[in-house]
Amino acid sequence: MQRKTSWVLSLLTVIVDAAMLVVAFIAAYYLRRVTQYPRPLNERPFSYYSGMLVIHTATVLVTFFLYRIYHFRRGISRIDKSWSIVAAISFGSVAAVALTAFVYKNELDYPRAVVVYAWLLSIVFVMVGRLFTDWFHARFRQANPTRVIVVGAGDIGRMIMQKITQSPRQGYQMVGFADDLPGRKEVSGFPVLGPTNQLRYLIQQHSVEEVIIGLPEANHEEILDLISQAEQQKATVRVFPDVFQIIASEISIDDLNGLPLLTVRDVALRGWRMAVKRAMDLVVSAITLVLISPLMVFIALLIKMDSPGAVFYAQERMGLDAKPFQVLKFRSMRVDAERDTGPVWAKKNDPRVTRLGTFIRKHSLDELPQFINVLVGDMSLVGPRPERPVFVEQFRQVVPRYMDRHREKAGLTGWAQVNGLRGDTSIIERTKYDLWYIENWSLFLDIKIILKTAFGLFRDENAY
């Protein structure tokens, strides 16, 4: 039933996309008629371009299939979806022009501006159509959720559970946990249904459609057994990655006189990539500082009125190559905040935070002065979040490859932060996300992280 319904939803999306492409082409034709510059040599009726319309629509739809845009997966961000649509329409429009020239042998006289307008309007109209189809998909998933069992009720299992409950649009229904710890009956309001060796029966008993294995400490034999149990009941299996991903997430295979060796890839940015990243840091930070300067002055005045002490707070953090630098922030705590506690992480409802500090920390306004750090080169817009030297010394002892985070500049925001790993969260998971970012860096990834940060600025539950 689920597969049949999924096919119907995919067909609906194809129909809506086709309709939007047709409307976009028609709008492009009439837009060209309205805009008389450059003046068209021959004004033809729309019926003259009907063949070109069919080719344009069909070619872009085929390109969508080739780009796997109709392979709907949960959890893909709107930014990634939008980028895929833009890329597919761009490629499809070029292919449509080439196919039109081939079919008509240059006998079709069409204004070149129509092609440009059709390309731009196709992007806009398809995006609008996707707002409808995405809403329809989300409503269907919420009305017909996929029932899920999480294997493992430890820290990782609880984190997976939180992601499921915080994302109802993904269409998951948390049934419970499978866990081997004796005496554990309930975790965070969800029942422990039974031990892991009974997983096949739990799936059958509770009509479970998907299993998420959250046991990063389990060995390969245990994971394979769990996968086998789930597959016997025709349940989809997803596995949370283990610590090995941190140690060897990007490797190459070399040969030593017939002996295979694994080499971990050098993750440092060099050459043109470093230059591009630094150029973006300079331009964006300079423009941002100019635009937000009135807001920074206003916040500074409020801080002076709210509590005694300096407006800015400089704290030593570890940056590129583990070299210390002074990170700038608006002061959000009492002047003597660490007199009794020493260096400790901030926590929710921290009594050291001032009245105004609670608000500016919640909305990350205390970090606005860090654009100065970016401008002078101590930090980057995107990168691993900098930690204090005392914490770095602790983490490097227990987290594999932790110091590889310092192969790049620290960032105002990062891949870990936009995925909810901010504040008092697992440092192992943060490191995993930071290393993935470093090893998979691209300019588009930086732009994506900046956009996700901007969209989630006022709804980050881990900002405190």
What confidence tens digit (pLDDT) does each residue in 22-72 have? 999 999 988 887 776 666 556 677 778 888 899 999 999 999 988 888 877
Whole-number pLDDT of residue 101: 83
Whole-number pLDDT of residue 196: 87
CATH architecture of 146-242: 3-Layer(aba) Sandwich (3.40)
More confident residue, 266 or 338: 338
Whole-number pLDDT of residue 439: 78
Q: What is the pLDDT of residues 68-93, one digit of tens each?
A: 888 777 667 777 788 889 999 999 99
Residue 178, CA distances (Å) to 149, 156, 168, 186, 421 in order: 7, 13, 22, 11, 25
Q: pLDDT at residue 1 above 60?
A: no
Domain ranges of the chain: 2-143, 146-242, 271-455
Whole-number pLDDT of residue 246: 47
SS3 188: coil
Whole-number pLDDT of residue 322: 83
Q: Which of 52-61, 84-93, 131-140, 294-303 bottoms out in mean pLDDT, i.e. has the lowest?
A: 131-140
Whole-number pLDDT of residue 247: 46
Whole-number pLDDT of residue 288: 93
Burial 282-312 (b: 16+ CB within 10 A, else e): eebbeebbeebeeebeebbeebeebbebeee
| Distance from the first to the final alpha carbon of the chain | 44
Q: pLDDT at residue 149 above 70?
A: yes
The residue assigned the tokens 């901010």 is 422
Q: Which of 310-314, 329-333, 396-400 bottoms out in mean pLDDT, i.e. has the lowest?
A: 396-400
pTM over 0.85: no
Q: What is the mean pLDDT of the chain?
A: 82
Q: What is the pLDDT of residues 410-437, one digit of tens each?
A: 999 998 888 877 766 678 778 888 888 8
Whole-number pLDDT of residue 347: 62
SS3 427: helix
Whole-number pLDDT of residue 181: 82
Share of residues in the chain with pLDDT > 90 (%): 22
**Residue 291: band (very low, low, confident or very high) from pLDDT cuts 50, 70, 90:** very high
Whole-number pLDDT of residue 119: 93
Q: pLDDT at residue 334 above 70?
A: yes
Find the radius of gyration of the CA atoms of the chain.
27
Burial 130-168 (b: 16+ CB within 10 A, else e): beebeeebeeebeeebbbbbbbbbeebbbbbbebbeeee
Pairing of strands 172-178, 146-151: parallel
More confident residue, 265 or 422: 422
Nearest one of 373, 329, 371 to 354, comparing CA atoms:
329
Whole-number pLDDT of residue 283: 93
Q: pLDDT at residue 265 above 60?
A: no
